[in-house]
């Protein structure tokens, strides 16, 4: 079983030895390894049961580290980094030789991010290498937003989880890169597209539902609970579930379903705050997945701000076939 603690030196010791450590970030928990150690990185793929064509994000301690790993830093992306790092923004930049091909799955770009969680920032400060870290969940399942989520699924395979409490943002980082002169959002996430547009003007959001996505982790079925998950109009979904005599649970933004026991009606934010809802989304999906219900019914969020990224995750959770 993994040791769960907020001791940075303990985490650093295992990482320096080439072992894997669960780390808190403001978005979701990561499964971290020394990004420059190919053998350590290989273990990430094994433990997560992740296909090797799905590349990893490299976490660095500050913007000044970019030049070590990227051969070019376009002005527009630099402006985004200045505005939003540390924070839930990942930039795709042309990689330097020093980054192992396993990290980028052989792609020409490396994904770089400066996370803002204070424990992980301190950890990166004491280490003399960057951390490759995907979300710390088995491939295809919901991302973890608490140390206990990591422990429940990967705890018997890793020695240490750095406990930084529940994640503040709750959605994975927004992934951004450039093609020619255009800024492209490859994955919507914890940094809203509108916020990005205030810095670089209009951006293109890639349709991520293709079967051959630019970021391979964007396979349509992803972030999925085990129990069937349906998204749409709640009243309709509830009547259908009743007609089919299904034992159902409901995930909603602010509406409480009175006929259900409180463990079966999960409200993401009583006030309807999208940032609070994002914080609670993955933990809520996990809770309902474990509730014993036969089906989870969810509603779409308003399509603004973080609501867009949340809707993307809800669609993916529902896409499991």
175 binds, among ligand TXA, Mg ion, none (CB under 5 to 8 A by kind): ligand TXA
Residue 294 tokens, joined: 């036969």
Q: Does 135 bind Mg ion (CB under 5 A)?
A: yes
Q: How far is the CB of 168 from ligand TXA (least distance, A)?
A: 12
Which SS3 state, helix, strand or coil, does residue 264 take?
coil
Residue 111 as a binder of ligand TXA (CB under 6 A): the answer is yes
What gap in Å lies between CA 131 and CA 99, rounded to an integer? 11
Total of residues contacting ligand TXA (CB under 6 A)? 28
Pairing of strands 182-187, 174-179: antiparallel
Can you give the length of the chain in residues?
Answer: 321
Residue 107 touches which of ligand TXA, Mg ion, none (Cβ within 5-8 Å per kind): ligand TXA
Binding of residue 55 to ligand TXA (CB under 6 A)? yes
Residue 252 binding Mg ion, by CB under 5 A: no
CB of 234 or CB of 274, closer to ligand TXA: 274
Strand segments, DSSP code E, in the chain are: 3-5, 21-23, 30-34, 57-59, 89-94, 109-113, 131-132, 160-162, 174-179, 182-187, 204-205, 229-231, 248-252, 265-267, 295-298
Quote the CA–CA distance of 169 and 87 in Å, as a whole number.
9
Residue 218 contact among ligand TXA, Mg ion, none, beta carbon within 5 to 8 Å by kind: ligand TXA
- The CA distance from 238 to 260, in Å, is 11
Distance of closest approach, residue 179 Cβ to Mg ion, in angstroms: 23
Which residues in this chain contact Mg ion in the complex, by CB under 5 A? Answer: 135
Which residues in this chain contact ligand TXA in the complex, by CB under 6 A? Answer: 25, 27-28, 30, 54-57, 90, 92, 104, 107, 109-111, 113, 115, 133-135, 172-173, 175, 214-218
């Amino acid at each position: 079983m993994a040791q769960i603690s907020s001791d940075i030196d303990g985490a650093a010791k295992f990482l320096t030895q080439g072992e894997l450590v669960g780390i808190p970030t403001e978005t979701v928990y990561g499964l971290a390894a020394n990004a420059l150690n190919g053998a350590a990185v290989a273990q990430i793929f094994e433990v997560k049961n992740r296909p090797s064509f799905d590349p990893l994000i490299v976490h660095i301690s500050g913007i000044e580290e970019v030049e070590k790993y990227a051969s070019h830093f376009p002005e527009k992306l630099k402006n985004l980094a200045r505005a939003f790092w540390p924070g839930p923004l990942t930039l795709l930049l042309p990689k330097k030789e020093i980054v192992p091909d396993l990290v980028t799955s052989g792609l020409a770009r490396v994904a770089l991010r400066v996370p803002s969680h204070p424990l992980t920032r301190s950890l990166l400060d004491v280490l003399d290498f960057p951390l490759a870290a995907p979300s710390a969940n088995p491939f295809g399942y919901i991302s973890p937003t608490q140390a206990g989520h990591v422990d429940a699924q990967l705890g018997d395979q890793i020695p240490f989880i750095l406990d930084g409490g529940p994640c503040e943002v709750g959605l994975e980082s927004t992934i951004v890169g450039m093609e020619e002169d255009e800024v492209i959002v490859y994955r919507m996430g914890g940094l809203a597209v509108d916020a990005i547009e205030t810095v670089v003007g209009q951006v293109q959001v890639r349709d991520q539902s293709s079967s051959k996505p630019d970021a391979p982790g964007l396979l349509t079925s992803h972030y999925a609970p085990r129990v069937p998950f349906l998204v749409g109009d709640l009243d309709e979904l509830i009547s259908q579930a009743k007609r089919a005599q299904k034992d159902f649970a409901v995930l909603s933004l602010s509406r409480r379903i009175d006929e259900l026991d409180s463990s079966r009606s999960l409200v993401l934010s009583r006030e309807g705050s999208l940032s609070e809802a994002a914080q609670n989304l993955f933990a809520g999906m996990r809770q309902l997945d474990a509730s014993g219900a036969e089906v989870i019914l969810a509603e779409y969020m308003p399509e603004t701000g973080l609501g867009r990224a949340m809707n993307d995750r809800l669609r993916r959770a529902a896409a499991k076939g």
